[in-house]
Amino acid sequence: MEKSLLTAKAILPAYNRNRLTTRIVHLGFGAFHRAHQGVYTDILAAEHNSDWGYCEVNLIGGEQQIADLNHQQCLYTVAEMSADAWRARVVGVVKTALHAQVDGFARVMEALCEPQVAIVSLTITEKGYCHAPATGQLMLDNPLIAADLKNPQQPKSAPGVIVAALAARRKMGLAPFSVMSCDNMPENGHVTRNVVLAYARALDADLAEWIAQNVTFPSTMVDRIVPAVTTETLDKIEQLTGVRDPAGVACEPFRQWVIEDNFVAGRPAWEKAGAELVSDVVPFEEMKLRMLNGSHSFLAYLGYLAGYQHINTCMEDENFRRAAHALMLKEQAPTLNVQDVDLANYARLLIERYSNPALRHRTWQIAMDGSQKLPQRWLDSIRWHRANGSRHDLLTLGVAGWMRYVGGVDEQGEAIDVCDPLLDAIQQAVRNSEEGDARVKALLGLKAIFGDDLATQPEFVAQVSEAYKLLLEKGAKATVAQYAKALS
């Protein structure tokens, strides 16, 4: 007989789970949400008698995750991994779990229209917003959005589902909810508001106006390194706790959550669990996106090309370590507006976190969906440097590394499994250009990523071409070493 998670050797939910009320519907029951927002809310229930509970919803994919969660009474394990010890917690704040394609959309709508629901939160990755990363605007020709506009009663996209739920609540005379993005995008609340309102306007101008007047879209900055779950991860969690948990997740001990305090129907007191409630999240978002995520992407593309499968292995290479640190402090930090934060200490802590040998965060995982990530992680900073006449050699090398990576063949001649929502356009640019300068120009011509400006700046194009040629001639390891040497 299977063991219950309530017998696990872990911090267990000792609170009365029956007291919990489903006040948050969360779209995107992925590893990050489990290890981040779920933990904050669980701490509140355990230590502060909070009654805020979750309904977890997956819209597309992740059927097995929801099935696993339901099979074990909506309990799951979070294991914190450090070099010296692992610690586990069984999270108990999930009340129900649904899959739109298994349980049916009507059941999801029922959950979204329960009167007490105050927040709909999202971790659907950047591509889930169906927007153009370069502009932040909803792509009405996105296949999901186009299909939803034809059949708005059975939407599959997150914007379509949110608008359908708000329309139904308005019709029923229920209070609206706040919509809170927890994805890695600058001004993620503004992006969410833009795509939701653009979708609503395409359906019903009056509804769009009602949403604009009555719904808030608080921005957030989320931070915790959560590698993709592997069989090895689940084996380790079972060794630690004595119970097999297919919905388990492992992460680093560090966690951070900065939230814009702008909710129309209340919120949990997440600050009691360590979150920071602020009036403006944007400076914190920029800091994290550029210093952490920007250096992560740099290590992902160049590290993968150099043969490093994990971020901690990149950190064992002194040149990669120095380059990542310099990227943070010399090229990203000057572009930031955040106040009263010791950025040198922040960079030091990031290098420490990256070096955690227990994490084994795959460079290939971080390299996914680059078209959605480059604009906020690198390109905004490059534009800042170009406007201010300052150097951005490492950022340029990162762009060249991405171009080399999406070429689809590594330095050993092996195929790279490139995962990206704009893969067709990227592959077309690669196929239709010769290796070298022509390849760089073809990829810079992808306006959904690079906008209209960067490809028209000869100096920038030349710098990327130079870095790209070095990667072709010397390989990523030697090229990063050359750039690192130039720092001294």
**Domain positions in the chain:** 5-278, 290-487
* Cβ partners under 8 Å of residue 448, min gap 6: 132, 133, 134, 371, 422, 425
- The predicted-structure confidence for 322-368, as pLDDT tens digits, reads as follows 999 999 999 999 999 999 999 999 999 999 999 999 989 999 999 99
pLDDT of 187 reads: 92
What's the pLDDT band for 3 if we cut at 50, 70, 90?
Answer: confident
Which band of pLDDT confidence, cut at 50, 70 and 90, is reported for residue 64? very high
Position 135 confidence tier, pLDDT thresholds 50, 70, 90:
confident
Per-residue pLDDT reduced to its tens digit, 448-462: 999 999 999 999 999
pLDDT in tens, 401-437: 999 999 999 999 999 999 999 999 999 999 999 999 9
Specify the CATH number of the domain 5-278: 3.40.50.720
144-158: pLDDT as tens digits: 999 999 999 999 999
CATH class of 290-487: mainly alpha
| pTM confidence score | 0.93
Gap between the Cα atoms of 222 and 40, Å rounded: 12
Confidence of residue 83 (pLDDT cuts 50, 70, 90): confident
The pLDDT of residue 84 is 84
Q: Inform me whether the pLDDT recorded for 1 exceeds 70.
A: no
Over range 84-90, report the average pLDDT: 93
Residue 194 CB-half CA count within 13 A: 18
